[in-house]
Structure 1
Amino acid sequence: MRTLARPRHHRMIAGVCAGVAERFGLSAGTVRVIFLVSCLLPGPQILIYPALWLLLPQEP
């Protein structure tokens, strides 16, 4: 199983959704849609993305 890292390919902004998609074997588009829909719900989702951007390592 792959580790959670931001890939250098298939990125749109920072690669967070693409990294999560690769880690769990999903398509990047699916993860992006799930993230956008989740932003309509109350909660800290909008703060999690920048936190993951800073915390996830860049793929070598």
Structure 2
Amino acid sequence: MEALAAQATWRKSSRSSSNGSCVEVARSNSVVGLRDSKNPAGGHFTVSATAFNALLDGIRR
């Protein structure tokens, strides 16, 4: 699987709370990175864009 680019832009929902309890997401070509907004230096995990899109489709149902 492709690695997430170091310069990837991390984003969180505009609906997220101000207390920092959020998931941040970064997209890079065919992968998506996910990390905890309270600890951005704590690392992230990467999934394929296909898997992430399937997760979002499941949530929307």
TM-score tier (shorter)? 0.3 to 0.5
| TM-score, length basis structure 2 | 0.32
Normalised by the length of structure 1, the TM-score is 0.33
Higher strand fraction (1 or 2): 2
Q: Which has the larger share of helix?
A: 1
Instruction: Work out which structure has the larger RCO, using CA pairs closer than 8 Å and 6 or more positions apart in sequence.
Output: 1
Rg (Cα) greater in structure:
2
